[in-house]
Amino acid sequence: GLLYQEYRDKSTREEIETRRLQDSQTDPEEASPSEETPSEAEPTSTTENKAPTQINLLRNSNSRFNLWQDLPEVQNSGVLSILQPDEIKLQEAMFELVTSEASYYKSLNLLVSHFMENERLKKILHQSEAHILFSNVLDVMAVSERFLLDLEQRVEENIVISDVCDIVYQHTVNHFSVYITYVSNQTYQERTYKQLLQDKPAFREVISQLELDPKCKGLSFSSFLILPFQRITRLKLLVQNILKKVEEKSDRESTALDAHKELETVVKACNEGVRKMSRTEQMISIQKKLEFKIKSVPIISHSRWLLKQGELQQMNGPKTSRTLRTKKLFREIYLFLFNDLLVICRQIPGDKYQVFDSAPRGLLRVEELEDQGQSLANVFILRLLENADDREASYMLKASSQSEMKRWMISLAPNRRTKFVSFTSRLVDCPQIQCVHPYVAQQPDELSLELADVLNILDKTDDGWIFGERLHDQERGWFPSSMGEEILNPKIRAQNLKECFRVHKSDDSQRRKLGSRNRQ
């Protein structure tokens, strides 16, 4: 009877421990959970004649059975002695998708019945505040209920689950757009919640009392509000897990690939919805702070967003005059780097920035200086192939640390070769890390991490930062090295890459088609 937050945390913790165990073994198969050896004497066709099971997860959400093979119906059927170990693993992966949806539905139900429909809360909240806070959660819950009923019906058809990805596909295509609506509201939802806590003591008091109810199991109201975004992301990973276990070139693989592709579209739309809201506000704020000493450049654009901003030290005078005795060797400058444009400024009074140079991002080059003593540590050259005056310009810049220097260099010139080869190179082996502590990105060039995420390490610094590429979605960014544990077993790393290539092979063929079309 776990709430989804508990279920999800338990599941990811188990995933981490499984990888730790595998990483300590010389052979990945040694670390696999033990399954009964199939008996060759019994024919596999007996599974087709089993009576339908009654595993009602929607109405019996307190079921204590987390594994398919622990179900009494499965235990008593003798099917575990017939199925191959790989098929049992696949059954578990499909069953997890179903049971986790039941747990998720239970948590959504609690969000609605315990919080949203609370009479005291209704009196405190204005109708518009309640709408922003809970958005279309009733639609999301209705979609989850319909989805769960279809999954449950499939489980009840036969003890051995035939497939679930066809159901995932149908519901993603026809119903899951409600998630995009809910998640796109997240920026306003968070802001409204913080404002209500600050401005309405009565709201704060009621929420605190509701959170203390044993039903909530110590979980916060905000952990319920974020459920839909967490679920749609997790659902994609659960389908990936099934995809890794189905037979290659089978109907089930084809269905899983289709379901994964549609889910990826929804997740991307959710991410874009959230980003669009915050990016627009951020661009307006930056535009107001800029004063142009050069020809003005329009900053606000629907296709432009901020990648990185911050202060660096620019070296004064020509390179030949470098000396430790120089009183003012460096002076402060401030950079705003967008996805398509670099703006170089100096900070002026009134929280304003005076722009004195700019260049398209595609015309930037960087070069790291060799170690030349403490005064010139973390120094790099930034070249603008064509600046605001249509000329080439060079800046010698000093960062506050090695990690800050590398972060600027990779952001300014993203195609520059990193220390380790990236995922797209299809390298047989590459350093990898798995996340053991969740991390929320603090800067635009950082990557938020969820427990059990596996990433290729593209670069690392001596002061504790890693530039990584997450395997399940190829998102890149920086994060503290303390958030993860390096995967040391080369066989496990190779297995992770192989599974990742398989999951994304349909994406790869699509990319190849696009590349061929572009060349033509």
Are 514 and 507 in contact by the 8 Å Cβ rule? The answer is: no
Rounded mean pLDDT of 260-279?
A: 91
State whether residue 118 is helix, strand or coil: coil
| Encoded tokens for 163 | 């497939």
For the cut 90, the answer to whether the pLDDT of residue 512 exceeds it is no
Higher-pLDDT residue of 276 and 130 is 130
Higher-pLDDT residue of 510 and 499 is 499
Q: Looking at domain 65-285, which CATH architecture does it have?
A: Up-down Bundle (1.20)
pLDDT confidence of 32, banded at 50, 70, 90?
very low
For the cut 90, the answer to whether the pLDDT of residue 55 exceeds it is no
In angstroms, rounded to a whole number, what is the distance separating the alpha carbons of residues 412 and 341? 10
Given this model, what pLDDT does residue 419 score? 66
Rounded mean pLDDT of 280-287?
A: 91
Residue-wise pLDDT for 435-492, tens only, equals 999 999 999 999 999 999 999 999 999 999 999 999 988 899 999 999 999 999 999 9
In angstroms, rounded to a whole number, what is the distance separating the alpha carbons of residues 388 and 160? 66
Rounded mean pLDDT of 221-229?
A: 96
For the cut 50, the answer to whether the pLDDT of residue 61 exceeds it is no
Domains 65-285 and 293-318+328-414 equal at CATH topology level: no
- The correct CATH number of 293-318+328-414 out of 2.30.29.30, 2.40.50.180, 2.60.120.260, 3.40.50.12500 is 2.30.29.30
* Cβ atoms < 10 Å from Cβ of 184: 20
Residue-wise pLDDT for 410-427, tens only, equals 999 987 766 665 544 555
Given this model, what pLDDT does residue 516 score? 41
407-426 in b/e form (b: 16+ CB < 10 A) is bbbbbbbeeeebebbbbeee
pLDDT confidence of 315, banded at 50, 70, 90?
confident
Topology at the third CATH level for domain 419-513: SH3 type barrels. (2.30.30)
For the cut 50, the answer to whether the pLDDT of residue 513 exceeds it is no
Q: What are phi and psi of 332, to 5 degrees?
A: -75, 135
For the cut 50, the answer to whether the pLDDT of residue 33 exceeds it is no
Given this model, what pLDDT does residue 5 score? 87
Rounded to the nearest integer, the mean pLDDT of the chain is: 86
Write the DSSP symbol of residue 391. S
Q: How do the domains of the chain map onto residue ranges?
A: 65-285, 293-318+328-414, 419-513
For the cut 70, the answer to whether the pLDDT of residue 428 exceeds it is no
Given this model, what pLDDT does residue 52 score? 40
